[in-house]
Amino acid sequence: MTDDDPDTLAALADRRGAERAVYQPAEDSRLLAEAAVDHARGRTLEVGTGSGWVAERIATETTATVVASDPNPAACLEARDRGVPAVRADLVAPFRADSLDTVAFNPPYLPTDPDNEWDDWMERALSGGESGRAVIDPFVDTVGRVLRPDGIVLLLVSSLTGFESVVDHAERSGFDATTVRQESYPFETLSVLRLTLDN
């Protein structure tokens, strides 16, 4: 079995509940990877890379030059083990202005009751705060700085976070938003937004 085999992804998704260190690929990862393989080009950054599975697919299935970032040092190590250069970083903070053609991000998006949060890396990889947008909004506010004028952002969004709220925030931040992938599941709909600067 390969990493993108459905049985492998199902097994990883089942195991993810027990994983406490690094986010492992599941259906949201696959959806973002498919969109990135279709759209990524040039200098590409995957923010919040987790295991590095999406970044590895971009690197092996496109001509993009790929780097990854994650605040979790264990995630950076896993990504490097896959051959993906990875830096420990908060969102896009260390990257130069106007330096990237593509930025891909599967953010923490699960709405979480503050009284029920755990203080570990897996919680940080999953929890989007009460609204589900605690990480998405700051990302959208800052990612435009690192994009080249014709650059794109591929952002995975769950219906649990309020899809229209994310689109509205992106548009207020100077982006045009287009949905390039979408899949529905029993409890949520996952979409990948393609954001471009409204020049």
pLDDT of res. 124: 63
Burial class (CB in 10 A: 0-12, 13-18, 19+), 199: exposed
pLDDT of residue 12: 44
CB distance 71 to 94 below 8 Å = no
- For domain 6-197, the CATH class is alpha beta
What pTM value is reported for the model?
Answer: 0.85
DSSP bridge partners of 153:
103, 195
DSSP H or E run through 61: helix 53-61
DSSP of 105-154, one letter per residue? E----B---GGG--SSHHHHHHB-TTTS-TTHHHHHHHHTTTEEEEEEEE
The predicted structure's pLDDT at residue 172: 96
- For residues 131 and 169, what is the distance between their CA atoms, to the nearest angstrom? 13
Alpha carbon 198 to its chain centroid, in Å, reads 22
Residue 92 is classified by DSSP as T
pLDDT in tens, the chain (199 residues): 344 455 544 544 454 444 568 878 889 999 999 999 999 999 999 999 999 999 999 999 999 999 999 998 999 999 999 999 999 999 999 999 999 999 999 998 776 766 655 565 555 656 657 777 889 999 999 999 999 999 999 999 999 899 999 999 999 999 999 999 999 999 899 999 999 998 6
Residue 17 vs residues 14, 39, 150: alpha-carbon distances, Å: 6, 30, 39
**Which pLDDT score, from 0 to 100, does residue 1 have?**
38
Tokens of 27: 């259906």
Q: What are the tokens at 191?
A: 């979409």
Sorted by where each begins, the domain ranges of the chain are: 6-197
